[in-house]
Amino acid sequence: MSITERIVRAPADRVYSVLSDGWSYSDWAVGTAHVRDVDAGWPRPGARVHHKAGPWPVSVRERSESLECEPGRMLLLKVHVWPLGEGQARFTLDPLDAEATRVTLQERFTEGPLLKVRNRVGDAVLHFRNAEVLQRLADIAEHRTGQPQH
């Protein structure tokens, strides 16, 4: 399992508002190229973000599904990485004060060929990718003003 942390200079509610805005998914989820649709009720468990993954013109239709959520505190996603398998990504938000949140991203492979690289090398690759995920998430949360527009 890869565990990556970052201090985001924004309240936990604002960080969670980015995670709960399915239309912003491709802005922070590294490898996601385009959001095609967002199920009503996202990020309620069972709801999905339908997106494309990979670079054009070889991008493929994918989806990410919410497995659990605690508004303002945690979001657990099932992520599909075709043809390499599936994984789970857990975002945990710990408020440090009124203007800062520790965001922890835990990710692991759960199915498919990527299970074979579930070791220190695979975790290191995930860690570098997830550091970029958290950087993008922080950039949006720290600079977003008002509510997202759809």
Can you give the pLDDT of all 150 residues of the chain as single tens digits? Answer: 889 999 999 999 999 999 999 999 999 999 898 999 999 999 999 999 999 988 878 888 999 999 999 999 999 999 987 666 788 999 999 999 999 999 999 998 888 766 666 666 667 778 898 999 999 999 999 998 765 544
pTM, two decimal places: 0.90
Q: If 0-12 CB within 10 Å is exposed, 13-18 middle and 19+ buried, where does residue 91 land?
A: buried
Measured CA to CA in angstroms, residue 27 lies from 21, 84, 111 at distances of: 11, 22, 25
pLDDT score, position 123: 73
* Long-range contacts at 93-97 (CB < 8 A, ≥ 24 apart): 93/12, 93/15, 93/16, 94/12, 95/11, 95/12, 96/7
Measured CA to CA in angstroms, residue 104 lies from 62, 75, 82, 146 at distances of: 24, 11, 25, 24
Q: How far apart are the C-alpha atoms of 40 and 130, rounded to whole Å?
A: 27
DSSP notation for 28-79? HSTTEEEEEEE-TTTTSTT-EEEEEESSTTS-EEEEEEEEEEETTTEEEEEE
pLDDT score, position 150: 47
pLDDT score, position 83: 67
